[in-house]
Amino acid sequence: MRVEGLAIALRPRSQAEACDLGLALVRAHARSIWRCFTPVLLAVAALALCTVDSLGWLPLLILFWLKPWLDRVLVFVLARAVFGEATQWADVWRARRQVLGGQLLRTLFWRRFSPWRAYTQAIEQLEGQRGSARRQRRRLLLNDNRGAATALQTAFVHAEGVLVYGLVALLWWFAPEQAGIWDWFVNPEQHAGGQLGFDLVMALSYTAVVLFLEPFYVAAGFAMYLNRRVALEAWDIEQEFRHAFA
């Protein structure tokens, strides 16, 4: 990585502070992030919703399972953002083989349930190491940081659940009392089209929450990864020297 080109100030931080840096990075580059992430997510959501009439829970499962693959777009945008570069959808499309096609089986199968995937995804996607070198690199970066990475995952899983059920609850909170919305939620199978409508509401709510929350989750993990590399490779000192003697 070109340390001299970084547009963020590097210094040793706690991993909690590093998460804050990641959230600030999302706010600073929100336009790049959502204009690249939204088309991919909506395309996947549209295809997933085609299955709702067959199995009501399948759209949720598809979206959930493909999140690590969708996160690759976010890592690509964030990696450019730390150098102060804006990203267009055309940039993602030009790099589509690297961004969307690389390590597909690893991403969707044995790494899917990794409790620290947001933290280690940059190792997999950006460093380009293979085999034993990649495994050693992961062990090195995870050393003494498994707890922080797992806590990040746990916090965002709970936030995701709260937001999804909060969105669903809005429907009957704001519905007129005579509309019978509460009964529709409790016993959807007893109403014409009730189960299909309920499944659609759940799938759309989950899509909206992933669209909003996933960039913050990935950015927090990516910033933790950068912070670990600062500690291991003294990037902060190198950056200071380069600025001093520029």
Q: How much is the mean pLDDT over the chain? A: 83
Handedness of CA 212, 56, 101, 91 (dihedral sign): negative
Handedness of CA 57, 62, 63, 68 (dihedral sign): positive
Is 3 among the domain residues? no
- pTM value is 0.87
Strand blocks (E) in 8-122: none
Domain span including residue 153: 12-244
Is 191 among the domain residues? yes
Is 146 among the domain residues? yes
Distance separating alpha carbons of residues 173 and 165, to the nearest angstrom:
12
- Residue 207 is encoded by which pair of tokens? 């899509």
Pick from 99-113, 138-152, 200-214: least confident: 99-113
Taking only the tens place, the pLDDT of each residue in 147-162 is: 999 999 999 999 999 9
From residue 30, give the alpha-carbon distance in Å to each of 26, 34, 38, 81, 88.
Answer: 5, 6, 11, 10, 12
Is 7 among the domain residues? no
Is 1 among the domain residues? no
Is 174 among the domain residues? yes
Is 222 among the domain residues? yes
Taking only the tens place, the pLDDT of each residue in 174-232 is: 765 655 555 555 555 555 455 777 788 889 999 999 999 999 999 999 999 998 888 88
Taking only the tens place, the pLDDT of each residue in 33-77 is: 999 999 999 999 999 999 988 888 999 999 999 999 999 999 999
Structural domain count, the chain: 1
Is 189 among the domain residues? yes
